[in-house]
Amino acid sequence: MRIAHRCFFLLLALLPVIATAQQSGLDAALQKGDATDLGIYFSKSIDVTIPGVEDTYTADKAVSVLSEFFTAQGVKGYKQVHLSAPQQGRSKYSIGDLYTSQGTYRLTLYFDTEQKITEIRIAK
For the chain, what percent of residues have pLDDT higher than 90? 68
Q: What is the pLDDT of residue 25?
A: 84
CA angle in degrees (0–180, nearest 5) for 25-30-34: 90
pLDDT recorded at residue 24: 74
Give the per-residue pLDDT at 92: 87
Question: Which sequence spans correspond to the domains of the chain?
Answer: 2-123
Q: Do residues 44 and 58 lie in contact, with contact meaning Cβ atoms separated by under 8 Å?
A: yes
How far is residue 91's CA from residue 60's CA, in Å, rounded to a whole number? 22
Residue burial 4-22, b: 16+ Cβ < 10 Å; e: rest? eeeeeeeeeeeeeeeeeee
**pLDDT tens by residue, 64-111:** 999 999 999 999 999 999 888 776 666 789 999 999 999 999 999 999
Architecture of domain 2-123: Roll (3.10)
Q: How far apart are CA 29 and CA 36, in angstroms?
A: 8
Mean pLDDT for all residues in the chain: 84
Confidence (pLDDT) at 51: 95
d(CA 71, CA 54): 18
pTM, whole model, 2 decimals? 0.77
Average pLDDT of the segment spanning 7-32: 59
Instruction: Using pLDDT thresholds of 50, 70 and 90, give the confidence band for residue 3.
Output: low
